[in-house]
Amino acid sequence: MSDLIEPLPSSPNGHAGGDVASEELVGHGHFVTHFDEPSLDYGVTETKITETTLEEMRSIAARYPQARSALLPMLHLVQSIEGRVTPAGIEACAEILGLTAADVSGVATFYTMYKRRPVGEYHVGVCTTALCAIMGGDEVYAKLQDHLGIGNDETTADGKITLEHVECNAACDFAPVIMVNWEFFDNTTPEKAIELVDQLRAGVEVQSTRGARVCTWKEAERVLAGFPDERADEGPTAAGPSLLGLRIASEHGWRAPDPEHATDRPDEGDR
Amino acid sequence: MTDPLTPVLTANWADERAWKLSNYERRGGYDALRSALQMDPAEVVTLVKDSGLRGRGGAGFPTGMKWSFIPQDNPKPKYLVVNADESEPGTCKDIPLMMASPHTLVEGVIISAYAIRANHAFIYVRGEVLHVVRRLQQAVREAYSAGYAGHNILGTGYDLEVIVHAGAGAYICGEETALLDSLEGRRGQPRLRPPFPAIAGLYASPTVINNVESISSVPSIVANGADWFSSMGTEKSKGMTIYSLSGHVANPGQFEAPLGITLRQLLDLAGGIREGHQLKFWTPGGSSTPMLTDAHLDVPLDYEAIASVKSMLGTKALQCFDETTSVVRTVLRWTEFYKHESCGKCTPCREGTWWLVQILKRMEAGRGQHGDIEKLLDLCDNILGRSFCALGDGATSPITSAIQYFRDEFEAAMHTPAWEMFPYERSTIFVREPAGA
């Protein structure tokens, strides 16, 4: 048993996976895991939730055949107002849905997008799941940590950037990938990543490599709660790798069969 | 003979503003909905059954058959839920589809809901893709305005509410019963089956859950016929599908082809493995599908042929890794993913993935211990088939397959760190050393 918890040398590229920071040895033979993370800080009593917020919460609940289905979007709305999930937000959701605060808290602590500490204006998520990590995500993440001087799930002192390593974000053909407030920044490098966060900190408007101009994290949370902004028409239809097969097909004149001749079944048993 | 590539779902991705309703309609969009509404719902189910469409989310279950399991004599409301929680490592097809052409999905949703006689449909999309959520929200709004959704659709008397629902970051919600719990406002943890969702799904009512690509294939089947669809593909794996090529490939990307194309053919189109390198291992359908090697380049990428080499077609997420890549490191990182994403419900998965990571971490550091390989296999044996859902099973696939094909690297992990055998910088896209240095 004791040999299993022997501290290991860290890999040269700043291994970013898992809950490395929270898995350091504490005392003898005890790991701190994500199950041990603090729950909400119930010492926080201030709130920006107003009657308008409560009205919006009720309107979300009214979208669903059963109101409890609204809980996830309602928590997104809480974050859009509070900058995280707060005790007051939990209480508001519980009251509107007729749940206990413990029920709501149990849900809020299950999902990684719900944050228990204040999030900066820009949430920068570096994908470090296997493929992105290997293609350079580990190095990007390590360089950003150095450059910003913060660790995982921490925020710069100016409140601008929260850095986190995230799991696969379904953009593997654009690896390595960074998400800023859940917008894609594809085919990144350490240099590009540093330039990006510097621009964000300087207040320069940046645009996703295949999406919209980046809004604030709170504004993004509001869209996820089901209150659209006006940015759906920004950005291209598709970009680069998404179009590769289509481009090759069009160069060769390849297409799906003509429905008129489909019954000929020319390739039956072709395999 | 069908062409090597057959763009249907991807056909409008190069169009200017393809996400707008007017541009979708210009290509014949929503004509299939009009046709479907002229049919009896049961006829639509039969049509999809006859096409041979199988679920594109990983399991490959026949879509029409799933629909036919909905008990129409059950007095409860029926629900359609689209699984748009794409997050299996390597999988990246549904996101560009919904971003480029959300109406393809929305039209499919309306036809499919009509077929199973549902008056509510939900698109459960992962929350971490903001722009996709925007485009879906807008497409649904446009569909309502045009009379394709809402009350009395196109004057037929059919009503359907379509709700775009953003998740909050949990891979497990791609598992259909966990998705249902999440959609009910709970922690996303899988349910015991039976009862299956077709009998007691959302709100304990009959529910069909389908992947984005499956539902998006429905309009083309209605428009062109079951024979057209089944004229593509192989005997038991019909139709066109989207293959996602990623990793150490000269030109990664999305390729829509008939089922049964091979990785060799796809790599030829993609310019091969990046210059100066060779393929070492790959996944046919995401990290949960056992890895394969260059010995499997000519295996047809269909459900049966991939199963015959002890893997799974999964989501057709072809992650390719070249000879610079450490298998031990890669497997560790996938295992960390499963550990992080395990919902905690079942002990073998919750605890087992944790122990797997501990052992793999020391192996990456070259400090593997005598018996570690056997211990990994024993742990996998105790996880596989012993949890509610497939997450635990999926966690074992990379490990057992990697040990099968690359046991020597795990042996070497007893004494040499992975980063010494495979300097990590050489695997990156911004490698500065010349190849083979």
pLDDT in tens, B40-84: 999 999 999 999 999 999 999 999 999 999 998 999 999 999 999
Distance from CA of B42 to the nearest CA of A (A): 23
Q: How many CB pairs (< 8 A) connect A and B? A: 360
The per-residue pLDDT for range B387-419, each reduced to its tens digit, is 999 999 999 999 999 999 999 999 999 999 999
Q: Peptide bond before A259: cis, by omega within 30 degrees of 0?
A: no
Distance from CA of A49 to the nearest CA of B (A): 21
Query: Rounded distance, CA A201 to CA A206, Å?
Result: 11
CA distances for A232 relative to A63, A210, B136, angstroms: 21, 12, 9
DSSP state of A68: G
Flag if B334 and A129 touch (Cβ within 8 Å).
yes
Distance from CA of A87 to the nearest CA of B (A): 18
Q: How confident is the model at residue A43 (pLDDT cuts 50, 70, 90)?
A: confident
Mean pLDDT of B133-144: 98
- CB of B402 within 8 Å of a chain A CB? The answer is no
- CB of B14 within 8 Å of a chain A CB? The answer is yes
Chain B residues with CB under 8 Å of A76 CB are: 127, 166, 168
Taking alpha carbons only, the member of B317, B300, B314, B332 closest to residue B249 is B317
Flag if B419 and A11 touch (Cβ within 8 Å).
yes
In this structure, of A9-18, A135-144, A156-165, B9-18, the range with the lowest mean pLDDT score is A9-18
Chain B residues with CB under 8 Å of A232 CB are: 19, 131, 134-135, 137-138
Structure tokens belonging to residue B341: 């994403």
Query: Rounded distance, CA B44 to CA B41, Å?
Result: 5
Instruction: Please give the share of chain B, as a percent, with pLDDT higher than 70.
Output: 99
- Candidates A17, A220, A228; nearest CB to B336: A17
Chain A residues with CB under 8 Å of B100 CB are: 237-238, 242
- Candidates A76, A110, A243; nearest CB to B170: A110
Residues 262-321 of chain B with CB under 8 A from chain A are 269-270, 287, 300, 302, 305, 317, 319, 321
Flag if A232 and B223 touch (Cβ within 8 Å).
no
Report which secondary-structure segment, H or E, holds A31. Answer: strand A30-31
- CB of B223 within 8 Å of a chain A CB? The answer is yes
Q: Which residues are bridge partners to B318 per DSSP?
A: B245
Q: How confident is the model at residue A26 (pLDDT cuts 50, 70, 90)?
A: very low
Residues 6+ apart with CB under 8 A from A157: none
* pLDDT at residue B203, as a whole number: 98
Query: Rounded distance, CA B276 to CA B345, Å?
Result: 46
Query: Rounded distance, CA A130 to CA B339, Å?
Result: 13
Structure tokens belonging to residue A8: 């290991």
Q: Which of A15, A127, A169, A173 to probe the B interface (max B CBs under 10 A)?
A: A173
Is residue B378's pLDDT more than 80?
yes
Is residue A11's pLDDT more than 60?
no
Chain A residues with CB under 8 Å of B1 CB are: 266-267, 270
* pLDDT at residue B382, as a whole number: 97
Establish how many alpha carbons lie within 13 A of residue B288's alpha carbon, considering only the half-sphere containing its beta carbon.
Answer: 26
On average, the pLDDT of chain A sits at 88
Is residue A36's pLDDT more than 80?
no
Report which secondary-structure segment, H or E, holds B64. Answer: helix B63-68
Chain B residues with CB under 8 Å of A127 CB are: none
Q: What's the sign of the alpha-carbon dihedral B282, A19, A120, A137?
A: negative
Q: Which residues are bridge partners to A164 per DSSP?
A: A125
Angle at B256 between CA B254 and CA B261, to 5 degrees: 105
User: Which alpha helices (H) appear in chain A, and where do they start and end?
Assistant: 51-61, 71-82, 87-97, 101-108, 130-132, 138-148, 190-202, 217-224, 244-252
For residue A68, the chain B residue with the least C-alpha distance is B185
Is residue A17's pLDDT more than 80?
no
Chain A residues with CB under 8 Å of B394 CB are: none
The per-residue pLDDT for range B294-349, each reduced to its tens digit, is 999 999 999 999 999 999 999 999 999 999 999 999 999 999 999 999 999 999 99
- CB of B89 within 8 Å of a chain A CB? The answer is yes
Flag if B13 and A6 touch (Cβ within 8 Å).
no
Report which secondary-structure segment, H or E, holds B219. Answer: helix B212-224
CA distances for B52 relative to A158, A241, B209, B259, B372, angstroms: 57, 29, 17, 12, 45
Query: Rounded distance, CA A238 to CA A232, Å?
Result: 13
Distance from CA of B216 to the nearest CA of A (A): 16
- CB of B85 within 8 Å of a chain A CB? The answer is no
pTM of the model: 0.94
Number of H helices, E strands in chain A: 9, 7
Flag if B91 and A263 touch (Cβ within 8 Å).
no
